Amino acid sequence: MSKKTAMITIAGRPNVGKSTLLNRMVGEKVAIVSNKPQTTRNRICGVCTKGDTQLVFIDTPGFHKPRTKLGDYMVNVVRESVADVDLILLIVEPIANVGPQEEALIAQIKASGAPAILVINKIDTVEDKEQLLSVIAAYTEKFNFETVLPISARYKDGVDALLKECADFAQESPFFFPEDMTSDQPERQVMAEIIREKLLWNLDREIPHGTAVEITRFSERDSGVIDLDATIYCEKQSHKGIIIGKQGAMLKKISTDARKDCERFMGTKVFLTTWIKVKENWRDSDFLIRNFGYDGN
Ligand SMILES: Nc1nc2c(ncn2[C@@H]2O[C@H](COP(=O)(O)OP(=O)(O)OP(=O)(O)O)[C@@H](O)[C@H]2O)c(=O)[nH]1
Ligand SMILES: [Mg+2]
């Protein structure tokens, strides 16, 4: 049986549910998710292999107007990920208005020449399903999508149908990844992302957006237990105080939440030690952005 593959980019504005959808399609949590925009910073590949077909999904940062050098980097990641793929999934909110981010993404889709599917997410929030017709009308006026699929990534509604549509775009080629692989993220990176997810869920406003996480030790004992040391960088001394919290309560909560997820992912006991350091305005420093691994991988 000859093998088939497709490289598929998931694009859309921040917070629309791209990473939630990626996790659903892959069947495992490979990308972090939060209720705050601009959660994803790097491109993340999730892999779904069924029989002779391998679908490689590229999750991208939410497309937005950048205000920092980190933002510039994130938007560039989207630009590069839209070029030269077999299919683009444009994920949108169930709103009958094509916003500036969507306009810009549609222009990039047109420039790439790749086929695109319009995916209307969060339909669980739409009471009157008739409303979806006006969403579809607004978008199909702008671009000739291959097809339109209303889904709910959260409730896995319509996700199997979407996977089937995606498989139609696979072309004969050897697999890019081993069959049992679900992500291209090294374990160290996954651990850092899990900690960043807990920062996003537990902290408000700008504070979590100004954090970066570096794993400084990842070592496995003979017993299989993993020792993990992580440094959380934040932008201000005052932020450091908030992350630590009253008598260390906040940092304790973040570390405990993170440790549990790290253990689930690694399938073994994890000892996690966290430190916090201040690096003023690191999001505008080319050197530090690269240092934290946002370097166009
Ligand atoms: N109601 C509802 N919420 C959803 C659905 N899919 C995702 N969400 C929520 O939307 C929020 C954002 O989800 P993410 O998957 O992090 O969104 P994203 O597009 O990857 O966001 P960025 O990485 O910031 O661009 C989270 O709170 C999700 O739980 C859905 O189908 N229905
Ligand atoms: Mg995301």
Ligand nearest to the CA of 61: 1
* Distance separating alpha carbons of residues 120 and 117, to the nearest angstrom: 10
Residue where one domain finishes, among candidates 106, 137, 172: 172
Residue 37 C-alpha to ligand 1 middle, in angstroms? 9
SS3 141: coil
Q: Which residues of 103-140 are buried (b: 16+ CB within 10 A; e: fewer)?
A: ebbbebbeebebbbbbbbbbbeebeeeeebeebbeebe
Whether residue 211 sits in one domain with residue 254:
yes
* Distance separating alpha carbons of residues 254 and 197, to the nearest angstrom: 9
Q: Is 124 in the pocket of ligand 1 (CB under 6 A)?
A: yes
Q: What are phi and psi of 192, to 5 degrees?
A: -65, -40
* Distance separating alpha carbons of residues 149 and 158, to the nearest angstrom: 7
Q: Is the dihedral of CA 258, 259, 260, 261 positive or negative?
A: positive
Q: Is the pLDDT of residue 296 over 60?
A: no
Whether residue 212 sits in one domain with residue 129:
no
* Distance separating alpha carbons of residues 120 and 126, to the nearest angstrom: 11
Q: Is 288 in the pocket of ligand 1 (CB under 6 A)?
A: no
> Is 178 inside a domain boundary?
no
Q: Is the dihedral of CA 9, 14, 16, 22 positive or negative?
A: positive
* pLDDT tens, position by position, 13-65: 999 999 999 999 999 999 999 999 999 999 999 999 999 999 999 999 999 99
> Which residue range is the domain that position 197 belongs to?
187-291
CATH of the domain at 271: 3.30.300.20
Q: Is 40 in the pocket of ligand 1 (CB under 6 A)?
A: yes
At 191, is the pLDDT very low, low, confident or very high (cuts 50, 70, 90)? very high
So what's the pLDDT on residue 297? 44
* pLDDT tens, position by position, 227-261: 999 999 999 999 999 999 999 999 999 999 999 99
Ligand nearest to the CA of 119: 1
So what's the pLDDT on residue 84? 86
Of 237, 224, 216, 214, nearest to 270 by C-alpha is 224
Residue 287 C-alpha to ligand 2 middle, in angstroms? 24
Q: Is 144 in the pocket of ligand 1 (CB under 6 A)?
A: no
Q: For the chain, give the percent of residues with pLDDT over 70.
A: 99
48: amino acid identity, one letter: C
> Is 179 inside a domain boundary?
no
Whether residue 206 sits in one domain with residue 136:
no
**Counting atoms of ligand 1 from 1, which one is nearest the CA of 35?**
27
At 203, is the pLDDT very low, low, confident or very high (cuts 50, 70, 90)? very high
Whether residue 41 sits in one domain with residue 77:
yes
CA angle (130 as vertex; 124, 131 as ends), nearest 5: 70
Between the alpha carbon of residue 278 and those of residues 91, 120, 240, 257, 274, the distances in Å are 36, 40, 7, 22, 14
Q: Is the pLDDT of residue 147 over 50?
A: yes
Q: Whose CA is nearest to atom 24 of ligand 1?
A: 38
**Sheet hosting strand 270-278, strand order edge to edge:** 212-220, 226-234, 270-278
Whether residue 94 sits in one domain with residue 53:
yes
**Counting atoms of ligand 1 from 1, which one is nearest the CA of 155?**
31
Compute the mean pLDDT over every residue in the chain, rounded to the nearest whole number: 95
Most informative mutation of 20, 39, 125, 201 for ligand 1 (most atoms within 8 A of CB): 20
Q: Is 16 in the pocket of ligand 1 (CB under 6 A)?
A: yes
Whether residue 237 sits in one domain with residue 134:
no
Helix 249-266 to helix 187-202 angle (10° resolution) is 140
CB 92 within 8 A of CB 106: no
> Is 207 inside a domain boundary?
yes
Q: Whose CA is nearest to atom 8 of ligand 1?
A: 17
So what's the pLDDT on residue 49? 97
* Distance separating alpha carbons of residues 270 and 56, to the nearest angstrom: 30
Whether residue 204 sits in one domain with residue 99:
no
Whether residue 193 sits in one domain with residue 165:
no
At 110, is the pLDDT very low, low, confident or very high (cuts 50, 70, 90)? very high
So what's the pLDDT on residue 280? 93
Ligand nearest to the CA of 20: 1
CB 68 within 8 A of CB 182: no
Domain count for the chain = 2
Whether residue 257 sits in one domain with residue 135:
no
> Is 94 inside a domain boundary?
yes
Q: Whose CA is nearest to atom 10 of ligand 1?
A: 17
